[in-house]
C-alpha cells in the first residue's frame, strides 16, 4: 500500500495525465478527478456536468469523501482549465466567460475545499493560474478574469484563517504556454522552445510535494521558458 497519496483534479487532461503518471512512477497512490476516467490512476472520481455550481461541487465533494473516508492526502493538484479568447465585443463573450469560470474557478474552489477536508497538515495544494492575468487581457477577457480569480484565491489561502490544515501550502503556477499536443496542433509555427514542458511541471509538483524548494504559501509562481529551459519565478 502506497504511503503517499495525491488527488489530481483534471487528471485526464494533458497536464493532469502527465502528473498522474509521474506520481505513480514514484510509488504514490493517485486518484484522478475528471469527467472521464484516467486508466493510469489508482482510483477515479467522475465529475458529472451540471449548470449549477452547488450541485457540481456537492457531487465532487461527496464522491471524494466516499473514496477517501478517513484517509488524508499529501497533495492536491488542481490542473483543470482551458483557454478561450474574445474581447468584450465578441459574440461568444458570455459563453466563453462562463466556460472559463467553470473550468478554472469552479475546479479551484472545489480543490481548495477538498484541501480543507482531506489534506494532511503540511500538505500541498497547487492551483493553475496564468502569467497573462498579472495584467490586462483585452483579447481574452473571460480567461483573464477567471485566472485572476484563481490568483486571488491562492493568496487568500495563505491567510491564517483560510481553513487550510496547519503548515500546508497553497501555490499557483502561472505558465505562458504549455507544450501540449493540442497547442502544437493549433500553433504549428510557434517557437516550441519557449513553451513549458508538462514533465517539468510534474517534476516540480513532486519536488514541492516532498518538501523540495517549496515556495511560501500564497506564492504565484511564473513558469518562464526560453531556449528549452524553464524557471519558476515568484511574481511577487
Q: How confident is the model at residue 236 (pLDDT cuts 50, 70, 90)?
A: low
Indicate the helix (H) or strand (E) that contains 58.
helix 53-68
pLDDT averaged over every residue in the chain: 94
Which ranges of 69-216 does DSSP label H, i.e. alpha helix?
A: 93-100, 107-118, 141-157, 181-186, 198-209
What is the three-class DSSP state of 113?
A: helix
Q: What count of other Cβ atoms lies within 10 Å of the Cβ of residue 231?
A: 12
9 is an active site residue: no
Which of the residues 29, 106, 143, 206 is marked catalytic?
Answer: 143
Whether 169 shows a pLDDT value over 60: the answer reads: yes
Confidence band of 191 (pLDDT split at 50, 70, 90): confident
- pLDDT, position 1: 55
CA angle 151, 153, 155 (to 5 degrees): 70
CA distance 231 to 67: 36
- The closest alpha carbon to 194, from 231, 223, 227, 232, belongs to 227
pLDDT of 195: 87
Rounded to whole angstroms, the Cα distance separating 60 from 26 reads 26
Q: In sequence order, which residues have a C-beta less than 8 Å from that of residue 90 and are 6 or more positions away? A: 96
For the stretch 20-42, pLDDT in tens is 999 999 999 999 999 999 999 99
pLDDT per position as a tens digit, 117-138: 999 999 999 999 999 999 999 9
- Of the pLDDT bands very low, low, confident and very high (cuts 50, 70, 90), residue 74 is very high
Amino acid at each position: 500500500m502506497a504511503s503517499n497519496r495525491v488527488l489530481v483534479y483534471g487528471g485526464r487532461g494533458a497536464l493532469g495525465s502527465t502528473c498522474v503518471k509521474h506520481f505513480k512512477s514514484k510509488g504514490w497512490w493517485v486518484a484522478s478527478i475528471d469527467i472521464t476516467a484516467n486508466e493510469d490512476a489508482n482510483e477515479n472520481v467522475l465529475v458529472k456536468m451540471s449548470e449549477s455550481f452547488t450541485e457540481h461541487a456537492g457531487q465532487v465533494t461527496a464522491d471524494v469523501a466516499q473514496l477517501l473516508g478517513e484517509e488524508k492526502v499529501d497533495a492536491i493538484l488542481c490542473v483543470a482549465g482551458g483557454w478561450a479568447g474574445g474581447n468584450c465585443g465578441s459574440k461568444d463573450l458570455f459563453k466563453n466567460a462562463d466556460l472559463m469560470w467553470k473550468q478554472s474557478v469552479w475546479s479551484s474552489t472545489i480543490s481548495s475545499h477538498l484541501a480543507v477536508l482531506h489534506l494532511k497538515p503540511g500538505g500541498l495544494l497547487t492551483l493553475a493560474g496564468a502569467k497573462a492575468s498579472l495584467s490586462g487581457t483585452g483579447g481574452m477577457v473571460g480567461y483573464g478574469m477567471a485566472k485572476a480569480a484563481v490568483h486571488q484565491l491562492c493568496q487568500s489561502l495563505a491567510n491564517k484563517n483560510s481553513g487550510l490544515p496547519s503548515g500546508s501550502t497553497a501555490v499557483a503556477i502561472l505558465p505562458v504556454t504549455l507544450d501540449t499536443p493540442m497547442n502544437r496542433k493549433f500553433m504549428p509555427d510557434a517557437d516550441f522552445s519557449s513553451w513549458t514542458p508538462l514533465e517539468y511541471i510534474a517534476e516540480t509538483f513532486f519536488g514541492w510535494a516532498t518538501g523540495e524548494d517549496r515556495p511560501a504559501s500564497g506564492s504565484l509562481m511564473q513558469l518562464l521558458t526560453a531556449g528549452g529551459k524553464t524557471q519558476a519565478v515568484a511574481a511577487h
